[in-house]
Amino acid sequence: MPLQTANWEPNKEMPVGKGATVQQFFTVLGKDRFEISVAPWGEGQLKVNGQEVARTAEAKDRRQAFTTLKQAAERYARGEPLEMSKNGKARLIPTVKAKLLDGKKGLVVGIANEQSIAWGCAAAFRAFGADLAVTYLNDKAKKHVDPLARALESPIVMPLDARVPGQMEAVFERITKEWGKLDFVVHSIAFAPQQALHGRVVDVPLDGFLTTMHVSCWTFLRMAQLAEPLMKKGGTLFTMTYYGSRTVVKNYNIMGVAKAALESAVRYVSAELGPKGIRVHAISPGPLATRAASGIPEFDKLLEKAKAKAPARSLVSIEDVGAATAFLAHDVARLITGDTIYIDGGYHVVD
Protein backbone atom coordinates (compact mmCIF):
# COMPACT_ATOMS: atom_id res chain seq x y z
CA MET A 1 0.00 0.00 0.00
CA PRO A 2 1.48 3.37 -0.97
CA LEU A 3 1.76 5.93 1.79
CA GLN A 4 -0.39 8.36 -0.19
CA THR A 5 -3.45 6.21 0.56
CA ALA A 6 -2.51 5.36 4.14
CA ASN A 7 -4.90 6.20 6.95
CA TRP A 8 -3.32 8.52 9.50
CA GLU A 9 -4.76 7.70 12.92
CA PRO A 10 -4.76 10.23 15.81
CA ASN A 11 -2.83 9.35 18.95
CA LYS A 12 -5.65 8.53 21.37
CA GLU A 13 -3.36 9.15 24.34
CA MET A 14 -3.32 12.88 23.58
CA PRO A 15 -6.07 15.55 23.46
CA VAL A 16 -7.70 16.07 20.08
CA GLY A 17 -10.04 18.62 18.61
CA LYS A 18 -10.29 22.38 18.61
CA GLY A 19 -9.10 22.90 22.17
CA ALA A 20 -6.04 20.64 21.93
CA THR A 21 -2.49 21.91 21.82
CA VAL A 22 -0.07 19.47 20.18
CA GLN A 23 -1.68 16.65 18.18
CA GLN A 24 -0.08 13.44 16.94
CA PHE A 25 -0.98 11.17 14.04
CA PHE A 26 0.57 7.89 12.97
CA THR A 27 0.45 5.23 10.29
CA VAL A 28 2.36 2.04 9.56
CA LEU A 29 3.83 1.02 6.20
CA GLY A 30 5.54 -2.36 6.20
CA LYS A 31 7.90 -2.39 9.15
CA ASP A 32 8.04 1.41 9.46
CA ARG A 33 5.93 3.47 11.84
CA PHE A 34 5.44 7.08 10.73
CA GLU A 35 4.46 9.67 13.34
CA ILE A 36 3.57 13.33 12.77
CA SER A 37 3.28 15.84 15.64
CA VAL A 38 1.81 19.26 14.88
CA ALA A 39 1.02 22.37 16.93
CA PRO A 40 -1.60 25.07 16.32
CA TRP A 41 1.06 27.68 15.55
CA GLY A 42 2.32 25.72 12.53
CA GLU A 43 5.31 23.86 13.89
CA GLY A 44 5.72 20.11 13.69
CA GLN A 45 7.97 17.12 13.16
CA LEU A 46 7.99 13.78 11.36
CA LYS A 47 9.44 10.69 12.99
CA VAL A 48 10.04 7.28 11.45
CA ASN A 49 10.49 4.46 13.96
CA GLY A 50 11.07 7.03 16.68
CA GLN A 51 13.76 8.99 14.84
CA GLU A 52 13.13 12.50 13.58
CA VAL A 53 13.55 12.78 9.82
CA ALA A 54 11.91 16.13 9.09
CA ARG A 55 10.39 19.17 10.76
CA THR A 56 8.69 22.41 9.84
CA ALA A 57 8.36 25.72 11.62
CA GLU A 58 7.10 27.92 8.80
CA ALA A 59 3.52 26.67 8.30
CA LYS A 60 0.69 29.10 9.04
CA ASP A 61 -1.29 26.61 11.13
CA ARG A 62 -1.57 22.99 12.23
CA ARG A 63 -3.35 21.85 9.06
CA GLN A 64 -0.66 23.23 6.76
CA ALA A 65 2.07 21.74 8.97
CA PHE A 66 0.41 18.31 8.76
CA THR A 67 0.14 18.55 4.97
CA THR A 68 3.81 19.52 4.65
CA LEU A 69 4.97 16.66 6.87
CA LYS A 70 2.63 14.15 5.23
CA GLN A 71 4.25 15.01 1.88
CA ALA A 72 7.67 14.59 3.48
CA ALA A 73 6.60 11.15 4.73
CA GLU A 74 5.55 10.17 1.22
CA ARG A 75 8.92 11.27 -0.19
CA TYR A 76 10.70 9.32 2.56
CA ALA A 77 8.67 6.20 1.74
CA ARG A 78 9.73 6.52 -1.92
CA GLY A 79 13.36 6.74 -0.89
CA GLU A 80 13.76 10.38 -1.86
CA PRO A 81 16.10 12.63 0.20
CA LEU A 82 14.51 15.07 2.63
CA GLU A 83 15.63 18.62 3.32
CA MET A 84 15.80 19.19 7.05
CA SER A 85 14.78 22.55 8.47
CA LYS A 86 17.77 24.76 9.12
CA ASN A 87 16.07 27.06 11.62
CA GLY A 88 17.73 25.33 14.57
CA LYS A 89 14.52 25.12 16.57
CA ALA A 90 13.75 22.04 18.60
CA ARG A 91 10.45 20.28 18.90
CA LEU A 92 7.39 22.44 19.21
CA ILE A 93 8.67 25.66 20.75
CA PRO A 94 5.91 28.05 19.71
CA THR A 95 6.42 31.51 18.31
CA VAL A 96 4.22 33.96 20.18
CA LYS A 97 3.81 37.67 19.66
CA ALA A 98 3.36 38.62 23.31
CA LYS A 99 6.69 38.14 25.09
CA LEU A 100 5.05 38.17 28.51
CA LEU A 101 8.17 36.89 30.28
CA ASP A 102 10.67 39.06 28.42
CA GLY A 103 13.56 39.96 30.72
CA LYS A 104 12.81 37.14 33.18
CA LYS A 105 15.58 34.73 34.15
CA GLY A 106 14.76 31.18 35.13
CA LEU A 107 16.36 27.88 36.10
CA VAL A 108 14.79 24.61 34.91
CA VAL A 109 16.03 21.44 36.61
CA GLY A 110 14.91 18.03 35.41
CA ILE A 111 15.00 17.97 31.60
CA ALA A 112 15.87 14.43 30.50
CA ASN A 113 14.52 14.49 26.94
CA GLU A 114 11.78 16.07 24.83
CA GLN A 115 9.07 14.09 26.65
CA SER A 116 10.02 15.56 30.04
CA ILE A 117 7.57 17.76 31.93
CA ALA A 118 10.50 20.08 32.56
CA TRP A 119 10.97 20.41 28.79
CA GLY A 120 7.32 21.36 28.34
CA CYS A 121 7.82 24.10 30.92
CA ALA A 122 11.11 25.28 29.44
CA ALA A 123 9.65 25.49 25.91
CA ALA A 124 6.76 27.62 27.17
CA PHE A 125 8.99 29.92 29.21
CA ARG A 126 11.27 30.48 26.24
CA ALA A 127 8.36 31.05 23.88
CA PHE A 128 7.20 33.87 26.13
CA GLY A 129 10.64 35.47 26.15
CA ALA A 130 12.38 34.22 29.29
CA ASP A 131 16.11 33.42 29.41
CA LEU A 132 16.79 29.97 30.81
CA ALA A 133 19.52 28.09 32.60
CA VAL A 134 19.10 24.32 32.33
CA THR A 135 20.76 21.29 33.87
CA TYR A 136 21.37 17.67 32.92
CA LEU A 137 21.79 14.68 35.21
CA ASN A 138 25.08 13.27 33.93
CA ASP A 139 27.19 12.72 30.81
CA LYS A 140 24.79 10.05 29.54
CA ALA A 141 21.88 12.49 29.74
CA LYS A 142 23.90 15.40 28.31
CA LYS A 143 23.61 14.18 24.71
CA HIS A 144 19.82 14.32 24.98
CA VAL A 145 19.67 17.68 26.75
CA ASP A 146 22.26 19.59 24.70
CA PRO A 147 20.11 19.89 21.53
CA LEU A 148 17.20 21.11 23.63
CA ALA A 149 19.40 23.61 25.43
CA ARG A 150 20.58 24.96 22.08
CA ALA A 151 16.98 25.34 20.96
CA LEU A 152 16.28 27.28 24.13
CA GLU A 153 19.40 29.38 23.51
CA SER A 154 20.39 28.71 27.10
CA PRO A 155 23.58 30.52 28.13
CA ILE A 156 23.97 28.30 31.20
CA VAL A 157 23.96 24.51 30.81
CA MET A 158 25.42 22.55 33.71
CA PRO A 159 25.36 19.10 35.32
CA LEU A 160 23.19 18.64 38.39
CA ASP A 161 22.91 15.31 40.13
CA ALA A 162 21.25 15.95 43.47
CA ARG A 163 23.28 13.16 45.03
CA VAL A 164 26.62 14.72 44.09
CA PRO A 165 27.73 17.24 46.72
CA GLY A 166 28.40 20.73 45.39
CA GLN A 167 26.78 20.45 41.97
CA MET A 168 23.62 22.32 42.94
CA GLU A 169 25.61 25.06 44.62
CA ALA A 170 27.81 25.38 41.53
CA VAL A 171 24.74 26.02 39.35
CA PHE A 172 23.52 28.82 41.60
CA GLU A 173 27.02 30.31 41.83
CA ARG A 174 27.15 30.48 38.02
CA ILE A 175 23.73 32.14 37.90
CA THR A 176 24.80 34.64 40.53
CA LYS A 177 27.94 35.49 38.59
CA GLU A 178 26.33 35.79 35.14
CA TRP A 179 22.85 37.10 35.93
CA GLY A 180 22.88 38.31 39.52
CA LYS A 181 19.17 37.54 39.78
CA LEU A 182 16.61 34.80 39.30
CA ASP A 183 12.88 35.14 38.64
CA PHE A 184 11.74 31.53 38.75
CA VAL A 185 12.94 28.00 39.42
CA VAL A 186 11.41 24.74 38.19
CA HIS A 187 12.26 21.73 40.37
CA SER A 188 11.23 18.67 38.36
CA ILE A 189 13.29 15.85 39.81
CA ALA A 190 12.36 12.83 41.90
CA PHE A 191 13.93 9.47 42.56
CA ALA A 192 13.35 6.30 44.56
CA PRO A 193 15.57 3.21 44.47
CA GLN A 194 13.88 0.28 42.75
CA GLN A 195 13.69 -1.75 45.95
CA ALA A 196 11.95 1.11 47.74
CA LEU A 197 9.59 1.99 44.89
CA HIS A 198 8.44 -1.53 44.06
CA GLY A 199 7.92 -2.77 47.60
CA ARG A 200 5.38 -2.02 50.30
CA VAL A 201 5.75 1.28 52.09
CA VAL A 202 6.07 -0.49 55.45
CA ASP A 203 8.99 -2.52 54.07
CA VAL A 204 11.07 0.41 52.76
CA PRO A 205 14.57 0.27 54.25
CA LEU A 206 16.00 3.37 55.89
CA ASP A 207 18.53 4.04 53.15
CA GLY A 208 15.84 3.79 50.47
CA PHE A 209 13.56 6.12 52.41
CA LEU A 210 16.31 8.68 52.96
CA THR A 211 17.39 8.62 49.30
CA THR A 212 13.79 9.08 48.14
CA MET A 213 13.19 12.01 50.49
CA HIS A 214 16.57 13.57 49.76
CA VAL A 215 16.16 13.72 46.00
CA SER A 216 12.40 14.17 45.80
CA CYS A 217 11.79 16.64 48.63
CA TRP A 218 14.84 18.06 50.38
CA THR A 219 16.40 19.24 47.11
CA PHE A 220 13.41 21.56 46.61
CA LEU A 221 14.04 23.12 50.02
CA ARG A 222 17.71 23.56 49.20
CA MET A 223 16.93 25.16 45.83
CA ALA A 224 14.50 27.53 47.53
CA GLN A 225 17.22 28.50 50.00
CA LEU A 226 19.74 29.15 47.23
CA ALA A 227 17.23 31.04 45.07
CA GLU A 228 15.98 33.32 47.85
CA PRO A 229 18.83 35.86 47.78
CA LEU A 230 18.61 36.04 43.96
CA MET A 231 14.90 36.91 44.05
CA LYS A 232 15.33 40.43 45.40
CA LYS A 233 12.20 41.64 43.60
CA GLY A 234 10.20 38.50 44.18
CA GLY A 235 9.91 35.38 42.08
CA THR A 236 8.28 31.99 41.70
CA LEU A 237 9.30 28.51 42.80
CA PHE A 238 7.75 25.45 41.14
CA THR A 239 7.95 21.78 41.97
CA MET A 240 6.22 18.80 40.38
CA THR A 241 3.96 16.46 42.33
CA TYR A 242 1.22 13.89 41.68
CA TYR A 243 -2.10 13.18 43.28
CA GLY A 244 -0.72 9.92 44.68
CA SER A 245 0.35 12.24 47.50
CA ARG A 246 -3.21 12.57 48.81
CA THR A 247 -4.72 9.20 47.99
CA VAL A 248 -3.38 5.69 47.54
CA VAL A 249 -2.41 5.01 43.92
CA LYS A 250 -1.46 1.44 43.12
CA ASN A 251 2.30 1.01 42.58
CA TYR A 252 3.09 4.64 43.46
CA ASN A 253 4.15 3.46 46.90
CA ILE A 254 6.93 5.39 48.66
CA MET A 255 6.86 8.14 46.04
CA GLY A 256 3.38 9.06 47.28
CA VAL A 257 4.83 9.59 50.75
CA ALA A 258 7.61 11.76 49.33
CA LYS A 259 5.17 13.85 47.28
CA ALA A 260 3.00 14.40 50.36
CA ALA A 261 6.05 15.75 52.16
CA LEU A 262 6.90 17.88 49.14
CA GLU A 263 3.43 19.46 49.05
CA SER A 264 3.66 20.22 52.76
CA ALA A 265 7.05 21.83 52.13
CA VAL A 266 5.44 24.05 49.48
CA ARG A 267 2.95 25.39 52.04
CA TYR A 268 5.62 26.15 54.63
CA VAL A 269 8.04 27.71 52.14
CA SER A 270 5.26 29.88 50.71
CA ALA A 271 4.53 31.19 54.21
CA GLU A 272 8.19 31.89 54.92
CA LEU A 273 9.08 33.53 51.59
CA GLY A 274 5.76 35.17 50.78
CA PRO A 275 6.61 38.45 52.55
CA LYS A 276 9.50 38.80 50.08
CA GLY A 277 7.19 38.45 47.09
CA ILE A 278 8.26 34.87 46.36
CA ARG A 279 5.41 32.61 45.28
CA VAL A 280 5.54 28.83 45.62
CA HIS A 281 3.56 26.22 43.68
CA ALA A 282 3.28 22.46 43.58
CA ILE A 283 2.21 21.55 40.04
CA SER A 284 0.26 18.30 39.83
CA PRO A 285 -0.20 17.07 36.26
CA GLY A 286 -2.25 14.04 35.44
CA PRO A 287 -0.30 10.92 34.48
CA LEU A 288 2.15 11.53 31.64
CA ALA A 289 4.26 9.06 29.68
CA THR A 290 7.65 10.42 30.77
CA ARG A 291 10.95 8.67 31.39
CA ALA A 292 10.42 9.00 35.15
CA ALA A 293 7.01 7.36 34.93
CA SER A 294 8.47 4.37 33.13
CA GLY A 295 9.72 3.09 36.48
CA ILE A 296 6.19 2.72 37.84
CA PRO A 297 4.69 -0.76 37.21
CA GLU A 298 1.46 -0.88 35.16
CA PHE A 299 1.70 2.83 34.38
CA ASP A 300 -0.18 2.29 31.11
CA LYS A 301 -3.22 1.31 33.16
CA LEU A 302 -2.98 4.61 35.04
CA LEU A 303 -3.07 6.43 31.71
CA GLU A 304 -6.12 4.50 30.56
CA LYS A 305 -7.95 5.15 33.82
CA ALA A 306 -7.14 8.86 33.78
CA LYS A 307 -8.42 9.34 30.25
CA ALA A 308 -11.61 7.38 30.94
CA LYS A 309 -12.50 9.09 34.22
CA ALA A 310 -11.24 12.68 33.92
CA PRO A 311 -14.11 15.13 33.35
CA ALA A 312 -12.29 16.51 30.30
CA ARG A 313 -11.89 12.95 28.92
CA SER A 314 -8.37 13.82 27.83
CA LEU A 315 -4.83 13.15 28.97
CA VAL A 316 -2.72 16.14 29.82
CA SER A 317 0.33 16.98 27.66
CA ILE A 318 3.63 18.52 28.64
CA GLU A 319 2.61 21.56 26.59
CA ASP A 320 -0.48 21.97 28.76
CA VAL A 321 1.68 21.89 31.87
CA GLY A 322 4.16 24.34 30.36
CA ALA A 323 1.51 26.89 29.40
CA ALA A 324 -0.08 26.86 32.86
CA THR A 325 3.30 27.10 34.59
CA ALA A 326 4.35 30.03 32.39
CA PHE A 327 1.16 31.86 33.40
CA LEU A 328 1.96 31.34 37.08
CA ALA A 329 5.44 32.80 36.52
CA HIS A 330 3.92 36.05 35.23
CA ASP A 331 3.28 38.95 37.57
CA VAL A 332 -0.47 38.76 36.97
CA ALA A 333 -0.40 35.61 39.13
CA ARG A 334 1.32 37.41 42.02
CA LEU A 335 -1.42 36.56 44.54
CA ILE A 336 -1.55 32.84 43.75
CA THR A 337 0.75 30.88 46.05
CA GLY A 338 1.12 28.04 48.51
CA ASP A 339 -1.15 25.46 46.94
CA THR A 340 -1.16 22.42 44.70
CA ILE A 341 -2.25 23.34 41.17
CA TYR A 342 -3.86 20.44 39.32
CA ILE A 343 -3.44 20.25 35.54
CA ASP A 344 -5.17 16.97 34.91
CA GLY A 345 -8.47 17.58 33.13
CA GLY A 346 -10.24 17.41 36.50
CA TYR A 347 -9.14 13.84 37.22
CA HIS A 348 -8.35 14.63 40.86
CA VAL A 349 -11.98 15.49 41.68
CA VAL A 350 -13.43 12.10 40.70
CA ASP A 351 -13.18 8.80 42.52
CA distance 95 to 88: 13
Homologous superfamily of 105-349 in CATH?
NAD(P)-binding Rossmann-like Domain (3.40.50.720)
Whole-angstrom CA distances from 102 to 48, 95, 176, 231, 261 are: 36, 13, 19, 16, 34
pLDDT of the residue at 93: 56
Q: How far apart are the C-alpha atoms of 198 and 297, rounded to whole Å?
A: 8
Q: Which of 78-87, 112-121, 267-276, 277-286 has the lowest mean pLDDT?
A: 78-87
Average pLDDT, the chain: 87
Q: Does position 170 have pLDDT exceeding 90, yes or no?
A: yes
Domain ranges of the chain: 3-77, 105-349
Q: What is the pTM of this model?
A: 0.75
| C-alpha separations of 165 from 7, 156, 160, 198 in Å | 53, 19, 10, 27
Q: What is the average per-residue pLDDT within 170-182?
A: 98
Tell me the C-alpha distance between 48 and 3, whole Å. 13
SS3 of residue 27 by DSSP: strand
239 beta partners: 187, 282
Q: Which residues are catalytic?
A: 242, 252
- Read off the pLDDT of residues 264-300 as tens digits, 9 standing for 90 and up: 999 999 999 999 999 999 999 987 755 555 555 566 6
Q: What is the pLDDT of residues 232-265, one digit of tens each?
A: 999 999 999 999 999 998 889 999 999 999 999 9
**What number of CA atoms fall less than 13 Å from residue 317's CA on the CB side?**
21
Query: Which helix (H) or strand (E) covers residue 136, if one does?
Result: strand 131-136
b or e along 64-93 (b: 16 or more beta carbons within 10 Å of the residue's beta carbon)? Answer: ebbebbbebbbebbeeeeeeeeeeebbbbb
Residue type, 109: V
